[in-house]
């Protein structure tokens, strides 16, 4: 029997993995938030904030990679949409119309999050 190579596990919440996955233009904001969270984590009470920042950016990196693969002009299209909302040329719908029970969902999430 021959030895099989051990697969390397790449933690998606590892800051180096996140930096490798993020588009370059997102690096400064990630690093700013990461350093702030690291500083806060010196106090044990701030550790959860560090975890939340890493989780958020891990998800953001994957979502941006997917968006950019599907649409290489993602950032330009997003900027055009934002401008359209600002100048009124893009129709918008209030969030409470799209998600009628939004207030109840938010209240329920807050009850669970802060237990």
88: left (phi over 0), alpha (psi -120 to 50) or beta: left
Q: What is the pLDDT of residue 83?
A: 96
Residue 40, burial from CB neighbour count under 10 angstroms (0-12, 13-18, 19+): middle
pLDDT band at 115 (very low <50, low <70, confident <90, very high): low
Task: Answer yes or no: are the C-beta atoms of 10 and 1 closer than 8 Å.
Answer: no
Q: What is the pLDDT of residue 111?
A: 85
Could you tell me if residue 22 is inside a domain?
A: yes
Q: What is the pLDDT of residue 33?
A: 97
Q: What is the pLDDT of residue 82?
A: 95
Whole-number average pLDDT of the chain: 91
Look at the chain and report how many structural domains it folds into.
Answer: 1
Task: Answer yes or no: are the C-beta atoms of 31 and 54 closer than 8 Å.
Answer: no
Q: Which domain holds residue 37?
A: 15-70
Is 37 a residue whose pLDDT tops 90? Answer: yes
The tens digit of pLDDT for each residue in 88-103 reads 999 999 988 999 999 9
Distance CA(13)–CA(62), nearest Å, equals 11
Could you tell me if residue 36 is inside a domain?
A: yes
Q: What is the pLDDT of residue 6?
A: 66
Could you tell me if residue 7 is inside a domain?
A: no
Distance CA(52)–CA(57), nearest Å, equals 9
Could you tell me if residue 60 is inside a domain?
A: yes
């Amino acid at each position: 029997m021959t030895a099989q190579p051990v697969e390397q596990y790449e933690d998606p919440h590892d800051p180096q993995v996140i930096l490798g996955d993020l588009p370059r233009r997102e690096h400064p904001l990630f690093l700013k938030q990461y350093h702030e969270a690291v500083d806060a984590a010196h106090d044990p009470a701030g550790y959860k904030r560090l975890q939340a920042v890493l989780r958020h950016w891990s998800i953001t990196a994957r979502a941006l990679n997917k968006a950019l693969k599907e649409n290489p002009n993602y950032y330009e299209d997003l900027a055009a949409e934002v401008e359209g909302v600002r100048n009124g040329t893009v129709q918008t719908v209030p969030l409470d119309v799209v998600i009628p029970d939004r207030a109840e969902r938010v209240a329920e999430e807050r009850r669970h999050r802060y237990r």
